[in-house]
Chain A
Amino acid sequence: MEDDKLLMEDEDTQKDKYLTFTLGNEVYGIDIKVVIEIIGIQKITVVPEVPEYVKGIINLRGKIIPVVDMHLRFKRPGKEYSDRTCVIVIDVNDVLIGLIVDGVSEVLTIPEKNVVPPPELKASQNKYIRSIGKIGEGVVLLLDWMKLFSEDDQSLFDDMSAEEASEEAT
């Protein structure tokens, strides 16, 4: 009970808050509640047999975390990493994933009334954007982190949860 209450409060303070980052010329936002931490780019260990956008694994204080290049993930040409390149570590259903982005800007509060759904374009477009937030003159593309690791990846999470369930059952 107490815990629930705490959680709710916790969620409340994180509501409408987004971490914004740049990718090419655009500004993207991701729910602050899934962000674990932000680190500079570091040595990436390549792993075989994975899609190009999975750059490999990094060592985050003893935890081994896969990192995904967001440029490549959005099927754009890759970009050289620089000092400004950051890795945003997020937690999706207890799976930690690092997102390689051009740079991290700030944490913004975007009230719900300033958030609009993306235009209904043809299929396969905008599927990673949940909605668009307005900040003054600019816009922030709000990532759908669930879907981002969906599609090919979604089956992956499903599989995983199914497997975990079966593991628990045995």
Chain B
Amino acid sequence: MAEPMVEVFIFETRQFLEQLEQIALGSEEQGGFSEEDVNEIFRAMHTIKGSAAMMMFDQVSTLAHSVEDIFFYIRELKPAKVDATAITDIVLNAVDFMRIEMDKLDAGGTPDMSSEELRNYTKDFLRNMKLDNGHDPDIDLRKAKNAKKAGEAGGDAAAPAPEPEKKQYYIGAAKPATPAPAATGATSGGQHIFEATVFFQQGCEMEEVRAFGVVNSLKEKVKELHYLPEKILEDESATDTIRNMGFRLFFTTEMNFDEAKAELDQTIFLDRLEIKEVASVAELEYWPSQETIAITALENSEPIKPAMPPVQRDLTPAARKPAPAKGGDGAQMITVRVDKLDKLMDLVGEMVIAEAMVTQNPDLKGMELDNFAKAARQLHKINGELQDSVMALRMVPLEGTFKKMNRIVRDMTKKLGKKARLVLVGESTEVDKNINEHISDPLMHIVRNSVDHGIEMPEVRVEAGKEETGTVILSAENAGGEVVIKIKDDGGGLNKEKILDRARKNGILTKPESELTDREIYSFIFAPGFSTKEAVTEFSGRGVGMDVVVSNIKSLGGKVIVDSEPGLGSTTTIKIPLTLAIIEGMSVSVGGSRFTIPINYISRSFRPDEGAIFRDPDGSEMIMVQGTCCPVIRLYDMYDIPDAIHEPTEGILLLLEAGDARFGVLADELLGVQEIVVKPVPKYISRMMKTTGISGCTLLGDGSISLIIDPQQVHNIIFD
């Protein structure tokens, strides 16, 4: 696992990348970049650049810089001719590049790929765009270079003459950079004295750490640096102070005004910067003398607060008003590690059991406890709510996953010369985080398939009397305990004959053809290595992929159904249970042990009649049920449990259906159906037992452990 700092960097960058991708795709659809889009992209690239530079990932940082330049140019000079598609491509390529690097970093590697090619392409593109629009291609570039030299990683890209948002630095604008040799203190020739206040974006969190970062990066470039609050990391109130009044810096440096501003402009999550140059340190509101510093260091006591009365500074109301949170609803969000949530969920599950242990305590039996019962009901209610809330914590909307499909449709239509649009419905549907992660690949394959195989070429569509642009609808909804995700296209539909033909060739027909239903025929497309496409394209035709869909969804406990209407399109429906870890199970007792069988495998349970169970000459037992002969196994026999009921007429026989066979298992008694939380058998033990048919364990209401029987495995034991 990466260091926390790197982790945060990866997390933030990935968020920005996602945002960038969405904006780029969105603006392409609109045929151009709105002013807001330009600003957003610019800001995102700028932030990535800054944080990548801080983490010393130069390739990422410089690439971000070159893309940022384009948007800077667009923003500042508002050129008339903008090739939105080409720019989108540049942004997407850069996003892809950075995403790969982030993955590398996440996997413990170093982002070492060279971005030079992309960078050069981007630079050339910008140059050409400037030429096209009749601007001098070199002007801004040179300035940018100057700024870069001065402010290391480029600062705010150029800081050119026509700067519309000068008001942002309202103090700085009023006082032009005057080289003022300070009257007091030891000064050399090119010394400048600055007073700056940095305001971080609302909701960026960890202001004190970010302030510390500013100090750190500035330290090397200035002569003397003081800041307020003094003790950023030690003082608990520092965060609030920085948040409300800004982080104030006082420094002497050789940098001139522009350089210093560029330097501070690089600050990550910068919302607003106020900077002014003063003639001497005496004009600064805060400039501790050498003695004070020494004393402070010596005493290390109460920080000296010469100029820190709460609202002494005459900030204009507009400046003091908290800036609108640019980072969306960042203030209400908090990132939590999944394992912490899992832990919480474990604890809540444990509490539910503990509650049952208290309220159903054997000591209470036969007692009249009205007040206790009332209190217990209240506890039960709260516990139930708590459980629901904790479950909800893991739920995330499908939105992110759905939106990724936009990119796929775009790339494919562009390369295949088709026209299609993706419509998202119900993307706010929430599913377990786990499902969200695993659904992404299957969805991608199905959407690809829809565009590649389903949607026809524009000419064909027009001929068939359809709209030229095909539509793929991706929808999600909650239905009962399931999430239903549908991918519907209005293409040509599946070709039944072709599928059958290929199925015959591949030898995967399981039944006579006449008995196959349409759905069964369509489901052949999910067989491994199956493709009706003659030619292999970049996207599909290799027959790899659709089988991934099925296996991924099965691992989530879901199923896939395909429907198709020739000429009208096809629909793929995915159904997945909302939560993975909870199943309904029937608990049975055998001697002193408890077992749980997933309810959907049980076809019926009954007490066998005298002599209904018979043996074949090998000693295997079986029973006749509805005209078929089913093998019977006794659980106490299989698991070697003492004190169990041996006489079938006193026990209970559960008829299980697994695979294509039915078989009976004999237990002592049914304990009832309940929702159970599946927990894995400890590895230490699961290693030693291999053929037992136990797939996990669960905790029952009374705190005891029940082993979960996997009928499929039992089936394999019997029939092998």
Indicate if the CB atoms of A95 and B694 lie closer than 8 Å. no
Decide: A54 and B688 in contact? CB cutoff 8 A: yes
Contact partner of A66 among B349, B353, B640, B682, CB < 8 A?
A: B682
User: What 1/0 mask marks residues of chain A from 48 to 87 whose CB sits below 8 Å from any chain B CB?
Assistant: 1111001001110111111000000000000000000000
Q: Which residue of B lies closest to A168 (CB)?
A: B107
Compute how far the CA of A153 lies from the CA of B684 in the bound complex, rounded to whole angstroms.
8
Give per-residue flags for A87-124: 1 if the beta carbon is below 8 A from chain B beta carbons, else 0. Answer: 00000000111000000000000000000000000000
Interface: B697 (CB within 8 A) = yes
Contacts of A7 in B (CB 8 A): none
Q: Which of A21-50 contact B (CB under 8 A)?
A: 43, 45-50
Q: How far is the CB of B436 from chain A (nearest CB, A)?
A: 20
The answer to whether B689 and A65 touch across the interface, beta carbons within 8 angstroms, is no
Q: How far is the CB of A63 from chain B (nearest CB, A)?
A: 7
Q: Which residues of A contact B692 (CB under 8 A)?
A: 48-49
Min CB gap A132→B, angstroms: 28
Asked whether A156 and B687 contact (CB < 8 A) given A43-B704, A46-B593, the answer is: yes
Say yes or no: A46 contacts B350, CB within 8 Å.
no
Pair A59/B703 contact, Cβ less than 8 Å: yes
A48 contacts across to B, CB distance below 8 A: 638-640, 689, 692, 694
Contacting pair A156 B704 (CB below 8 A): no
A43 CA to B705 CA, complexed, in Å: 9
Task: Give the complex CA separation of A159 and B681 in angstroms.
Answer: 16
How near does chain B come to A49, taking the closest CB pair, in angstroms? 4
Task: Please tell me if the beta carbons of B347 and A47 are within 8 angstroms of each other in the complex.
Answer: no
Alpha-carbon distance between A149 and B683 when the two chains are bound, in angstroms? 13
CB pair A65–B688 under 8 Å, yes or no, is: no
**Nearest chain-B residue to A60 (Cβ)?**
B350
Closest B residue, CB atoms, query A62: B350
In the bound complex, what is the Cα–Cα distance between A150 and B346 (angstroms)?
Answer: 30
Residues on A with beta carbons closer than 8 Å to the beta carbon of B639? 48
Q: Are A95 and B681 in contact (CB under 8 A)?
A: no
Q: How far is the CA of A45 from the CA of B593 in the complex (A)?
A: 7
Nearest chain-A residue to B685 (Cβ)?
A66
Residues from 118 to 134 in A contacting B, C-beta threshold 8 Å: none
- Near A by CB (< 8 A), chain B positions 607-627 give none
Q: Which of A62, A65, A96 interacts with B346 by CB under 8 Å?
A: A62
A47 touches B687 (CB 8 A): no
B628 within 8 A of A: no
Complex formed: what's the CA distance from A43 to B706 in Å?
12
- Residue ID in chain A nearest B638 by CB atoms: A48
Q: Is A146 an interface residue (CB 8 A)?
A: no
Contacts of A43 in B (CB 8 A): 704
Contact: A47 with B689, CB < 8 Å? yes
Contact B683 A47 (CB under 8 A): no
Cβ–Cβ < 8 Å partners of A8 in chain B: none
**Considering the complex, which residues of chain A in the window 131-161 have a beta carbon less than 8 Å from any beta carbon of chain B?**
149, 153, 156, 159-160
Q: A45-B704, A45-B705 are in contact. Are A50 and B350 (CB under 8 A)?
A: no
For residue B705, which residue of chain A has the nearest CB?
Answer: A45
- CB of A48 to closest CB in B, whole Å: 4
Q: How far is the CA of A159 from the CA of B683 in the complex (A)?
A: 11
B209-254 contacts to A, CB under 8 A, are none
Inter-subunit contact B691/A57 (CB<8 Å): no
For residue A81, give the distance in angstroms from its CB to the closest CB of chain B. Answer: 15
> B688 contacts A50, CB within 8 Å?
yes
Is the CB–CB distance between A59 and B687 below 8 Å?
A: no
Q: Given A64-B705, A156-B687, does the pair A47, B681 have CB atoms closer than 8 Å?
A: yes
Partner of A49, one of B346, B353, B691, B706: B691
State A43–B346 Cα separation when bound (angstroms).
Answer: 20
Q: How far is the CB of A155 from chain B (nearest CB, A)?
A: 9
> Which of B346, B594, B707 contacts A63 (CB under 8 A)?
B346
User: Which B residue's beta carbon lies closest to that of A47?
Assistant: B685
Pick from A43, A46, A65, A160 the residue with the most CB of B within 10 Å.
Answer: A46
A31 to chain B, nearest CB (A): 19
Bound complex: CA A131 to CA B255 (Å):
66
In the assembled complex, which residues on chain A have CB atoms less than 8 Å from the CB atom of B347?
A: 61-62
Chain B residues whose CB sits within 8 angstroms of the CB of A45 once the complex forms: 593-594, 697, 704-707
Tell me which residues across on chain B come within 8 A of A97, comparing CB atoms.
684
- On chain B, the residues within 8 Å of A96 by CB distance are 682
In angstroms, Cα B688 to Cα A51, docked, is: 8
Q: Which of B638, B679, B687 is in CB contact (< 8 Å) with A64?
A: B679
Contact of B697 among A50, A54, A64 (CB under 8 A): A64
With a cutoff of 8 Å between Cβ atoms, the chain A residues found around residue B694 in the complex are 47-48
Say whether B346 contacts A59, CB under 8 Å. Answer: no
B688 cross-chain contacts in A, Cβ below 8 A = 49-51, 54, 156
Least Cβ–Cβ distance between B301 and chain A, in angstroms: 25
> With a CB–CB cut-off of 8 A, which chain B residues contact A51?
688
Q: How far is the CB of A64 from chain B (nearest CB, A)?
A: 6
A40 CB, min distance to chain B CBs, angstroms: 14
**In whole angstroms, how far apart are the Cα atoms of A71 and B641 in the complex?**
23
Chain A residues near B704 (CB-CB < 8 A): 43, 45, 59
**Which residues in window 661-720 of B have CB below 8 A to A?**
679, 681-685, 687-692, 694, 697, 699, 703-707
Provide the residues of chain B in CB contact with A65, threshold 8 Å. 682
Contact of A50 among B683, B685, B699 (CB under 8 A): B685
- Least CB separation from B700: chain A residue: A59
Closest-by-CB residue of B relative to A95 is: B684
A/B interface sample: 15 pairs, CB < 8 A: A47-B681, A47-B685, A47-B689, A48-B638, A50-B688, A50-B689, A51-B688, A54-B684, A61-B350, A62-B347, A62-B699, A64-B697, A95-B683, A153-B684, A160-B687
Give 13 new A-B contacts, CB below 8 A, not counting A45-B706, A54-B684. A45-B594, A45-B697, A47-B681, A49-B690, A49-B692, A51-B688, A59-B699, A62-B346, A62-B350, A62-B353, A66-B684, A156-B684, A159-B687
Chain A interfacial positions (CB closer than 8 Å to B) = 43, 45-51, 54, 57-59, 61-66, 95-97, 149, 153, 156, 159-160
The 4 A-B residue pairs whose C-beta atoms are closest, nearest first, are: A62-B350, A49-B689, A45-B705, A48-B639
